[in-house]
Amino acid sequence: MGNRVGREDYEWVYTDQPHADRRKEILAKHPEIKSLMGPDRRLKWIVCTMVVIQFLAFYLVKDLDWKWVLFWTYAFGSCINHSMTLAIHEISHNTAFGNNKALWNRYFAMFANLPIGLPYSASFKRYHLDHHRYLGGDGIDVDIPTEFEGWFFCTRFRKFIWIILQPLFYAIRPLCINPKPFSQLELTNVAVQLTFNFLLYWMWGAKPVVYMLAGSMLGMGLHPISGHFIAEHYMFLKGHETYSYYGCLNLLTFNVGYHNEHHDFPSIPGRRLPLVKEMAPEYYDELPQYTSWVRVLYDFIMDDTLSPYSRVKRKLKGDVKQE
């Protein structure tokens, strides 16, 4: 439990991210993939259903004993809330209403944000598009852990704690790596969310609020679904910085596991990403891939060569245009 990991720095590379070139190559060979681009008309109805389910759960937990509130928080609420964060990820790519109605997507993301309790949808949009444009970009991509995380969480036990605290680090990392001034949409997101949280407490008391907030924190910490945080870009094999997962939890996560496909074609909704793999199997079948996010978490903790430093990082060249 006390063994220190071998890495003492990130994996620095001096090449561009692979996804832009692969996208051009695939489209030249399989132009039919363009037909998959565009909004997913089902997405808004799925999100609305999930929000209603959580509202119903808020009502049902208000009269439960605390032990059952905590049980259902982890067993059910954490799954729904983590799934809602990935719905917001989908909406950040304008897949709910299309690029021509970008503002509709932003406000719909705030609606999807309500059952999560933590106002983050507007900020996520700004930083996530930087992650796609400048994958691994030093000082830009806030998906990469800070120097402190890499230095301190260097034993099996500390990596275990780090995974539990993932929501905290995702919240504070942008302030350390790439702070941005608040936008009007972010201020609106905060105001809407805090008003909702207050009304929820005023109507039904503390238990639904605990169920909501604890569900979000637990769902993004030590939870099977949170394996995608590690699986997507941590370098389990040298030379590979993005990995796909082809397991059953994609059904709950809007196919975020199809992560190579997603970075190659971020404008294709998650529901259609399996079709990308079917249309261009020669580009994906031989890439490293996972079938279990739980196994990813276990291997990350137990493998002493892996740590928060196990990320590909690059110095950016030329003009950097951020959101």
- pLDDT, one tens digit for every residue, the chain (323 residues): 556 666 889 999 999 999 999 999 999 999 999 999 999 999 999 999 999 999 999 999 999 999 999 999 999 999 999 999 999 999 999 999 999 999 999 999 999 999 999 999 999 999 999 999 999 999 999 999 999 999 999 999 999 999 999 999 999 999 999 999 999 999 999 999 999 999 999 999 999 999 999 999 999 999 999 999 999 999 999 989 999 999 999 999 999 999 999 999 999 999 999 999 999 999 999 999 999 999 999 999 999 999 999 999 999 886 777 76
Inside any domain, residue 1: no
Q: Is residue 2 part of a domain?
A: no
Determine the structural domain holding residue 216 and report its residue range.
Answer: 11-314
The whole-model pTM stands at 0.94
Is there a domain that residue 319 lies in?
no
Asked, for residue 301, whether it belongs to a domain, the answer is yes
Structural domain count, the chain? 1
Q: Classify residue 80: in a domain, yes or no.
A: yes
Cα–Cα distance between 256 and 269 in angstroms, integer? 10
User: Contact at 8 Å (CB) between 287 and 113?
Assistant: no
User: Residue 4 domain-assigned?
Assistant: no
Phi–psi pair at 297, nearest 5 degrees: -60, -45
Q: Are 42 and 271 in contact (CB under 8 A)?
A: yes
Whether 3 maps to a domain, the answer reads: no
* 247-to-72, 210, 251, 253 alpha-carbon distances in Å: 24, 31, 8, 11
Q: How far apart are CA 18 and CA 21, in angstroms?
A: 6
